[in-house]
Amino acid sequence: MDYSEIKSRLRGSITPVITPFKADGAIDFEKMSELIEFQLANGTHGISVTGTSGEPSSLTLEEREQVMEHSFKTINGRVPFVPGTGSTNHDETMRLTKKAEQIGADAAMVIVPYYNKPNQHALYKHFKTVADSVEIPIIIYNIPGRTAQNLHVDTLAQLTKDCPNIIGVKESNKDFEHVNRVLQRCGRDFLLFSGIELLCYPMLAIGGAGSVSATANVLPGKVAEMHDAWFDGDIERAQKLHYELMELNDVLFKDTNPAPVKAALGMMGKIEPHLRLPMDVPSRELQEEIRATLNKYDIALQYV
């Protein structure tokens, strides 16, 4: 199967949309649709759901499938759709990835299993088994800070050699030498996405395809504009936007994602800022800092 067409479309800002909850803990699908429309109206280049920002470990398998189906229908082909389908459980990952293929997602984002810390050989077997079970393109999600295990470049390179549908990686890896080696070993046409907000621009500079940035939930237009400027060759504008976004990036990661993002979206009147335990909203002090930062960006707030 030729994956060149989807590789050409999977570029820029792919927003990892949060999962909105009602006060009783139920998923708010109406707000989910509104959040996706907010993203598309502000130039976002792609949508992801049920990744780290979507609180996947707080959702049942059935709920993850419902969020994927609902989001796919809402997007209706307007931008690429890349749901997160990974889990700490191999069989769950297989089920969710096959579901993404079944509903027509453009690709599936599969995280390095968290908590159980498989070795490199086990990671290879896990990802190869998942990739071999589907034809849908796979983007591996490497986030050592959440999973307590780093997918080595050698392992990723072997996977890309053995599995044609593994077309990219989201690297939430602060080791910039590591991400340079990814493109060196996997090929310059391999899709490298940044999952670290302060590395979104630097990764573009080394040949990255874009970013999957939680900040885009709050300020999608600016994040998309930074990518557009880069791809248009306006390096000065892209660099300016990189530094312009830095303060917002910083405050949104002073507590565990997506708690600050949900607090910000609540202040903006986009959602009710509920998380499922064991996650919860940020402290009152951090909420005040988030509110002050949003004001600096002239973001309209409904709840002040």
Taking alpha carbons only, the member of 189, 196, 303 closest to residue 245 is 196
Q: What are the Cα distances from residue 270, in Å, to 19, 132, 239, 252, 258?
A: 12, 39, 29, 16, 14
Query: Active-site residue numbers?
Result: 141, 170
175: number of CA atoms within 13 Å, CB side?
13
How far is Cα 282 from Cα 252, in angstroms, rounded to an integer? 10
Cα-Cα-Cα-Cα dihedral of 265, 14, 196, 68, to 10°?
70
Q: How far is 46 from 209, CA to CA, in rounded Å?
A: 12
